[in-house]
Structure 1
Amino acid sequence: MGDSKDEREKFQEELIGLDPHDPETKAFAEHLDRMKRERPGFTVEGYLEGVQDFADSANRTTGHQRLLAVIVVGLLLLGVILTIWFALGDILSIIF
């Protein structure tokens, strides 16, 4: 998190008794910030922030959770590639 006073005081109640300079406390405060952040859900920016959160979470995980994230991304890419392939096939069949 940043050093501004508002950001430090935002989660004061949840962080009572914890060392503010401890890396685990900072990570917990960042987690709380991500959980309580409100973003527009029906805009391109909102969707992209959701994808960024997913990518950041996937990069922090290890083991089975990371494998599952890689499989989800792979399936999404496979779906996009198949959609483009079939669309190009239809376009080429119409033209020729």
Structure 2
Amino acid sequence: GIQPAEAAGRELVYGIRPEHIRATGQGLSGTVTLMEATGSEIFATVDCGGEVISCLFRERLALKQGEAVRIEIDRASAHLFDARTGQRI
């Protein structure tokens, strides 16, 4: 893999799994664009200023499509990838 020091000047992709995003009332503000309750989980897409983020909420939430929401990303679970090669950094 690429070491962080080798990534200087490269275009990177910030990767996060949908289950590592929580609706906490803090963090990024966005609008729920799609919502699907699947029993114990809620799959949602949230438009944060034109960047659509897929979220998988495991807590019970009273979300509605078109509603404003604030989401927080678990930064400890995020990964960086080289945009050109796809290699993890």
Q: TM-score, normalised by structure 2?
A: 0.21
Q: Give the structure with the higher percent strand.
A: 2
- Structure with bigger gyration radius: 1
Q: Give the structure with the higher percent helix.
A: 1
